[in-house]
């Protein structure tokens, strides 16, 4: 932490998507390191931005309600920043198939605009892009290294590949220092809890807390790894603090693969409520199911020393405690239909 404080104290940090799940947790960490934090968020309801996510640090961050698709705003907002954490994105796999052009605008075209804004207005900034395991699609085996073939199963994965490689290209061609972390299933406090579209684990937690049925599609044997949001934030800070990470892509993983069915069992046990029911795969989900995914994060660990610290059981406990204390700030109709 002392090394991170030395890196970030007094520095200007911009977080796109900063009122969302990971962005707001990152903002809190940067504020604690005495960075000057500016948050950019569109507050489009479906994308998870929530003003309550910065409760208690409102006087330590600056919030700009703007959309990364607005090139004029981004041209202004990138100026003078030491660090830009580029987390804004459309993350729903299903929504990317329903509305591919919006996904293209946010996850691809807007990323190019942000980089162009830096190129002309702040070429000295350091950038971090939030990639995703969805870029790999159906894998050929686990654990998955960064060299694995990328063959995404949905529009979101394709556009995230493009957004990521724009960052690497601008690093290589224009010297704008950028790297990408390919995140796996991130969970924890301040997640969007109104629908299942931004990650199934948050929805499992809500269903269990409401003593509802948690549906498991198929046999539920697919392996996943999970990262508690605090560990992901730490990885982002360490990536930006190192001069060795730029121009590279890195996997972030949990190190403890767990089946989908076993994950549901753990959620029910932590909540003390909820029940599990096996169901047939809905056709729209079956088409984009990726099978097993377990990340090999050796490359990032060897560069930065990062490893996940919070076990799934510990993280679930912290997450459930947070929502029990703040349920009214995150719950809505509860039917999963609002988006």
Q: Looking at the structure, do residues 71 and 160 belong to the same domain, yes or no?
A: yes
Indicate the pLDDT class of residue 26, thresholds 50, 70 and 90.
very high
Per the domain annotation, does 336 fall within a domain?
no
How many Cβ atoms from other residues are within 10 Å of residue 12's Cβ?
17
Indicate the pLDDT class of residue 333, thresholds 50, 70 and 90.
very low
| CATH number of the domain residue 176 falls in | 3.40.50.720
Contact 48, 20 (CB under 8 A): yes
Residues contacting 80, CB < 8 A, separation 6+: 12, 122
Question: In this structure, what token pair is assigned to residue 253?
Answer: 């993983």
Q: Looking at the structure, do residues 87 and 214 belong to the same domain, yes or no?
A: no
Q: SS3 of 250, please?
A: strand
Q: Looking at the structure, do residues 46 and 139 belong to the same domain, yes or no?
A: yes
Per the domain annotation, does 24 fall within a domain?
yes
How many Cβ atoms from other residues are within 10 Å of residue 320's Cβ?
18
Average pLDDT rounded to a whole number, residues 113-133: 97
Per the domain annotation, does 335 fall within a domain?
no
Phi, psi of 41 (to 5 degrees): -155, 140
Q: Looking at the structure, do residues 93 and 127 belong to the same domain, yes or no?
A: yes
Q: Looking at the structure, do residues 178 and 69 belong to the same domain, yes or no?
A: yes
What is residue 195's predicted lDDT score, i.e. its pLDDT? 87
Per the domain annotation, does 127 fall within a domain?
yes
Number of domains making up the chain: 2
The string of pLDDT tens digits covering residues 45-89 is 888 899 999 999 999 999 999 999 999 999 999 999 999 999 999
Q: Looking at the structure, do residues 156 and 218 belong to the same domain, yes or no?
A: no
Strand partners, 178: 127
Per the domain annotation, does 220 fall within a domain?
yes
Q: Looking at the structure, do residues 71 and 124 belong to the same domain, yes or no?
A: yes
The whole-model pTM stands at 0.95
Per the domain annotation, does 179 fall within a domain?
yes
Q: Helix 200-209 and helix 260-271: axis angle, to 10°? A: 40
The string of pLDDT tens digits covering residues 153-207 is 999 999 999 999 999 999 999 999 999 999 999 999 999 999 888 889 999 999 9
What is residue 74's predicted lDDT score, i.e. its pLDDT? 96
Residue 337 has pLDDT above 60, yes or no: no
Q: Looking at the structure, do residues 72 and 156 belong to the same domain, yes or no?
A: yes
Per the domain annotation, does 338 fall within a domain?
no
End-to-end CA distance of the chain: 38
Q: What percent of the chain has pLDDT above 90?
A: 88
Per the domain annotation, does 66 fall within a domain?
yes
Q: Looking at the structure, do residues 128 and 207 belong to the same domain, yes or no?
A: no
Average pLDDT rounded to a whole number, residues 316-326: 98
Cα 49 from chain centre: 13
Rg, the chain, Cα only: 19
Q: Looking at the structure, do residues 33 and 172 belong to the same domain, yes or no?
A: yes
What is residue 284's predicted lDDT score, i.e. its pLDDT? 83
What is residue 1's predicted lDDT score, i.e. its pLDDT? 62
| CATH number of the domain residue 198 falls in | 3.90.25.10
Q: Looking at the structure, do residues 163 and 282 belong to the same domain, yes or no?
A: no
Q: Looking at the structure, do residues 100 and 219 belong to the same domain, yes or no?
A: no
Average pLDDT rounded to a whole number, residues 95-118: 94
The string of pLDDT tens digits covering residues 230-288 is 999 999 999 999 999 999 999 999 988 999 999 999 999 999 999 999 999 888 888 88
Average pLDDT of the chain is 94
Give the closest residue to 241 by CA, choosing from 176, 310, 177, 308.
Answer: 177
Give the structural domain span for 238. Answer: 2-186+227-251
What is residue 298's predicted lDDT score, i.e. its pLDDT? 98
Question: In this structure, what token pair is assigned to residue 176?
Answer: 């704008």
Indicate the pLDDT class of residue 335, thresholds 50, 70 and 90.
very low
Residues contacting 138, CB < 8 A, separation 6+: 151, 153, 290, 291
């Amino acid at each position: 932490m002392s090394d991170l404080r030395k890196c970030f104290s007094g520095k200007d940090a911009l977080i796109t998507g900063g009122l969302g799940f990971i962005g707001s947790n990152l903002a809190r960490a940067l504020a604690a390191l005495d960075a000057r934090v500016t948050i950019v968020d569109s507050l489009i309801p479906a994308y998870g931005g929530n003003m309550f996510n910065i409760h208690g640090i409102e006087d330590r961050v600056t919030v700009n309600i703007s959309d990364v698709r607005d090139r004029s705003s981004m041209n202004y907002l990138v100026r003078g920043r030491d660090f830009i954490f580029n987390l804004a994105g459309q993350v729903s796999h299903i929504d990317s198939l329903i509305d591919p052009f919006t996904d293209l605008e946010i996850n691809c075209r807007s990323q190019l605009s942000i980089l162009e804004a830096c190129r002309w207005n702040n070429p000295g900034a350091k950038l971090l892009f939030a990639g995703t395991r969805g870029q790999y699609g159906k894998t050929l085996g686990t654990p998955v290294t960064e060299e694995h073939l990328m063959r995404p199963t949905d529009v979101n994965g394709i556009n995230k590949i493009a957004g990521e490689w724009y960052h690497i290209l601008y690093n290589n061609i224009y010297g704008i220092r950028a790297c990408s972390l390919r995140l796996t299933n991130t969970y924890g406090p301040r997640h969007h809890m109104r629908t299942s579209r931004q990650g199934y684990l948050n929805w499992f937690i809500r269903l269990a807390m409401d003593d509802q049925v948690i549906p498991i599609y198929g046999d539920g044997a697919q392996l996943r790894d999970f990262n508690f949001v605090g560990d992901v934030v730490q990885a982002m800070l360490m990536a930006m603090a190192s001069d060795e990470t730029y121009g590279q892509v890195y996997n972030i993983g949990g190190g403890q693969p767990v089946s989908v069915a076993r994950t549901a069992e753990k959620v029910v046990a932590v909540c003390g409520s909820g029940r599990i029911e096996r169901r047939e795969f809905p056709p729209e989900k079956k088409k984009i199911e990726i099978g097993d995914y377990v990340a090999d994060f050796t490359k990032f660990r060897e560069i930065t020393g990062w490893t996940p610290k919070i076990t799934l059981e510990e993280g679930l406990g912290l997450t459930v405690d947070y929502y029990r204390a703040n349920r009214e700030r995150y719950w809505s109709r509860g039917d999963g239909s609002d988006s």
